[in-house]
Amino acid sequence: MSATVSAYLNIYQIFPVESTRTNILGVLIALASISIVFQALWYRRALQAVNYIPGLRVPFHPFSGPGAVIPTTWWNPGLSFMWKWRRSMYAYYGCDTISLVPFFVGPATLYTSNLDVVRQVIGSSGGKKFHKSKASLTGQIVLRWGMNIFVANTHVWRKHRRIMGPAFTSILYEVVWAETLKTYREMVAEEGWSTQDRISIPAVQSLTFKLALLIIGKCGFGFQFSWAEPARTADGRMAVQEALRISADSFKVSLFVPWWIKILPFKRFKEVAEATTELLAFMQTQVAERKADIRARGSAGNDAFSMLVKASENEEVKYRMDDSEIIGNVFIMLFAGHETTARSLSATIGFLALYDDLQEEIYQQIMSVVGQERDPVYQDYIKLNKVLAAFLETLRIFPPAYFMVREAFEDTVLRVPTGEEGATAVPVPKGTVVIVDMIGIQYNPRYFDDPEEYRPSRWYEVAHEPEAFYAFSNGPRQCIGHKFATTEAVCFLTMLLKDYKMEPVMKKGETKEQWKKRVLSAKLGLTLGVEDVPVDFVRRKNI
C-alpha cells in the first residue's frame, strides 16, 4: 500500500496540479483562438459573397433558429424587421439593395426593394439564373408535405403548372362568384343575422377564414361542405381550418425545436403533432376517394384537385404525379388559397370601417352597378373597380406573402442601381441568397406616393396591376390563384357593403386613430396580416 501511495506522490511531483490546470487552460485558449480565426475567415468570405455591399451586420440570420426565435431588437433583426424597419432601413444605407451578413449563424444575403434588381432575379430573362430556395423558411415548411407548385423549379414547376393551369379559367371564376354569393347567404342565415339590425363581430377573421376555406374547398376541390357543416379531418376530431391554423402558427416549433424535445408531454407539442397527423390523414383520404371516383366514372372533373389526382394515373411519365406531389399541392392550395385571402379580407373590412367617406364612395358604386333589387353577377366584376381597388390597396399595405427567396444556381452578376450615377455590377457567387422584400417594394416612395396612406384610388383607373404590385408575385411565377382570390373578394365585399355599413368597435375613450394603431397593426408569421378586427355590421335600411 505504501508503495502505491509513493507512486502517486511521485506522479504529482512530476505533473503538479497547477501544471495540469495550466495545460487545460492552454488547450482551451488554443481552441478558442482557432474558432475565432475560423469564424473571422468565414465572415470575410460572407462579406465577399455580397461584394461588401453596405447593410446589416448581426449575430444571427432572421431565418435561423436563434434569429427567428429572438424578437426584433436593435441588435437582432428577427422575423419582423422587414415590417418594423420598413421606413428607415433602405433610407439609412442610401440604396434599395442592401446586404445582411451574420457573424455566427446563417448565410450572407442580399435584400432588395428595387424593381430593376427584382426583374433580374425573378423576371422571365434574368430569373433563369435564380431558383426558388428549398432551404428557405417557407420552402422547408411546405416541402414537409411534398413537392408542389410553390417551391418547384424548372421542368418540375412546368409540369405542375401544366397540370393545374387548365383549371383556372373564366369558367372557374364564374363558379367562384356563384359559390361566394351562396356561402354569404348561408353565413347570414346560420349566424342569425337575418333578424338583427346590428351585428357585433369581436374578430372578423372568424368569418373570413371560414369563408375562404369553404370557397377553396368547394371550387378548387369539389368538396361538399357548408357554413353549418365545415370541413373536418378524417376521424372528425378536428376542423380542417383549425388544423391548418395550428400548422401555420407553429412553424417555429416545426423547424427549430429538436425532435427529442417535441416528444415531451407539453400541450403545445401534442397539439402540433395532432394537427399534423389529422391534416395529413384528411388529405390522404381525399386523394384516395377522388382516385376511386375517377376510376369508377372513367373521367375527372375540371377542378384543380381532380386534375392533380388524374395526373397520378397518367401513363406518360413526363406528366405523372406521385402521391407526395399531390399531397404537397393539396396543402399549398388549402393553405395559400384561404390564408392569404382571409387575412386580406379582414384588413380590408377594417380599413373600410375606419374610413366612412371611402366606404360610402364604394357603396355608391355598388348601388349604381348592382342596385338593391338584385344580386351581383360575375359580369359585374369589371365594373366594380372601386371594390377591387380597396382589396388591392390592402394587399399593398399588408402583402400576405411578404418576401420571396431566390438562390443563385450559378455564378452571375446583378446590376444594382446606385441613384443618379447609374448601376454597379455586383458579382453574385453560386449559392448566394437574394430576398425580394415585398414590404420594401410596396412602401418604396420611388413607386408609390405617400406609401403609408391607405388610398384605393391608386388603382381606380388601372386596367392591370402595375409591375410594382407584387402581392401576387409577378412574371411567369405569378400566383396561379390570383384571379380566384380577387373574384372571391369582390363578390363578398360587394354583398357585405350592399347589406351593411361597417363600423369599428372601439374601447371606451378610444379614438379612430388609436383603434387603427391597435388593430391595423401587422401580425407576422408565415404570412402577413393584422390583429383581430372588431367591427359592427349595421343593416343599411336602419341607417
Give me the helix-helix angle, 482-499 and 356-369, nearest 10°.
100
HSE value, Cβ hemisphere, 13 Å, CA-based, for 273: 12
In sequence order, what DSSP letters do the residues of 424-453 get, joined into one string? EEEEE-TT-EEEEEHHHHHT-TTTSSSTTS
In angstroms, the CA 274 to CA 220 distance is: 25
Helix (H, G, I), strand (E, B) or coil at 523: strand
Beta strands in 166-294 (DSSP E): 198-201
| Interstrand relation of 423-428 and 522-524 (parallel, antiparallel or unpaired) | unpaired
From residue 361, alpha-carbon distances to 349, 392, 495, 535 in Å are 14, 16, 15, 19
Is 95 one of the annotated binding-site residues? no
CA dist 344 and 208 (Å) reads: 9
Amino acid at 140: Q
Q: How far apart are CA 76 and CA 53, in angstroms?
A: 19
Cα separation, 350 vs 496, whole angstroms: 13
Question: Maximum distance among all alpha carbons in the chain?
Answer: 112
Q: How far apart are CA 331 and CA 284, in angstroms?
A: 11
> Helix or strand or coil: residue 351?
helix
Q: Which three cell numbers stand for residue 459?
A: 388603382
Q: Which residues contact 423 (CB under 8 A, 6 or more apart)?
A: 116, 415, 416, 417
DSSP 8-state symbol, 473: B
Please count the other Cβ atoms lying within 10 Å of the Cβ belonging to residue 540.
Answer: 15
Residue 199, C-alpha cell as written in the block: 351585428
What amino acid occupies position 487?
A: T
Write the burial class of residue 500 (CB in 10 Å: 0-12 exposed, 13-18 middle, 19+ buried): buried
- 433-437 and 109-112 beta bridge pairing: parallel
Closest CA to 68 of 79, 76, 57: 79
Would you list which residues are annotated within the binding site for heme?
Answer: 479
Would you list which residues are annotated within the binding site?
Answer: 479
